[in-house]
Chain A
């Protein structure tokens, strides 16, 4: 019935799933992160505009202060970019199964695309540098 495996913590930490496991794990963490962020953001906006008609209120302020904090900005940037780019790799490999021969190369290509477009804005956000 259930496919959940019973593993101990030491088994979990020493399991060498390598790149595919890392991609699966990061995809899942990023996905949950986006759902939480979008949920909080829609809830905050609904409280702001729907409950107090555009003026400040406690729930909206608390949520906004949390998701607009610098670490959360960087996390959301990571989550959206990683989930989007990793998802694109999955779609491409699902549509053209012949490309599975190159699945290793696809993962390195993915890091080569993801790292610069994540790290450069992440550093700018971390240092508080505004552009434009």
Chain B
């Protein structure tokens, strides 16, 4: 029994260690991905074609809806399979990073273990729904080109 509890505690702390590592790696990766998007937009979009608002939207998340209001030609440079998978990767990193952050905050403040378990289950469902919505928006609503 004691061994069982010990090993479960160890695997639990291993999960925390992995999430600690993931938080750092995904955080740096998101900064790199955002930097690449904005450099790309300025090289391909060209000077004077995107205002600061469009560049900020595109840097935060590279989806064609974010540049349709600007003067750039959306297809093919701002709407293609590369940017769809790039957006999916970015959203996967962001949603997981954010959901894990909320999980850590809940663990800090929720004292009742049963309530915490239910909230974590709810959080997991929200995370999956968000990923589903993102896949729909990136690949169906935006249109595969």
Chain A residues with a Cβ under 8 A of chain B: 1-4, 28, 31-32, 34-35, 38-39, 42-43, 45-46, 49-50, 54, 80, 84, 87-88, 90-91, 94, 121, 124, 130-132
The answer to whether residues A50 and B136 also contact, given A32-B105, A38-B98 and a CB cut-off of 8 A, is yes
Q: How far is the CA of A80 from the CA of B34 in the complex (A)?
A: 11
- Contact partner, A28, options B52, B95, B105, Cβ 8 Å: B105
Which residues of chain A are within 8 angstroms of B94 by Cβ–Cβ distance? 38
Contact status B51-A131, CB under 8 Å: yes
Which residues of chain A are within 8 angstroms of B99 by Cβ–Cβ distance? 35
Chain B residues with a Cβ under 8 A of chain A: 24, 27-28, 30-31, 48, 50-55, 60, 65, 94-95, 98-99, 101-102, 105, 108-109, 111, 113, 126, 130, 133-134, 136-137, 140-141
**Interface residue SS majority, chain A:** helix
The answer to whether residues A35 and B101 also contact, given A42-B133, A49-B141, A130-B51 and a CB cut-off of 8 A, is yes
Contact status B50-A91, CB under 8 Å: no
The answer to whether residues A50 and B133 also contact, given A38-B98, A84-B31, A91-B28 and a CB cut-off of 8 A, is yes
> Given A49-B136, A50-B137, 9 more contacts at CB 8 Å?
A3-B108, A32-B102, A38-B95, A39-B126, A43-B133, A88-B27, A91-B27, A132-B51, A132-B53
| Nearest 8 pairs of A and B residues by beta carbon | A132-B51, A49-B141, A46-B133, A35-B98, A2-B111, A87-B27, A132-B52, A131-B52
- Contact partner, B48, options A43, A121, A132, Cβ 8 Å: A132
Q: Which residue of B lies closest to A124 (CB)?
A: B52
Q: How far is the CA of A96 from the CA of B109 in the complex (A)?
A: 30
Q: How far is the CA of A132 from the CA of B41 in the complex (A)?
A: 13
Contact status A39-B27, CB under 8 Å: no
Q: How far is the CA of A94 from the CA of B113 in the complex (A)?
A: 30
Q: Which residue of A lies closest to B99 (CB)?
A: A35
Which residues of chain B are within 8 angstroms of A84 by Cβ–Cβ distance? 27, 30-31
The answer to whether residues A35 and B141 also contact, given A42-B130, A88-B28, A132-B55 and a CB cut-off of 8 A, is no
Contact status A94-B109, CB under 8 Å: no
Contact status B102-A45, CB under 8 Å: no
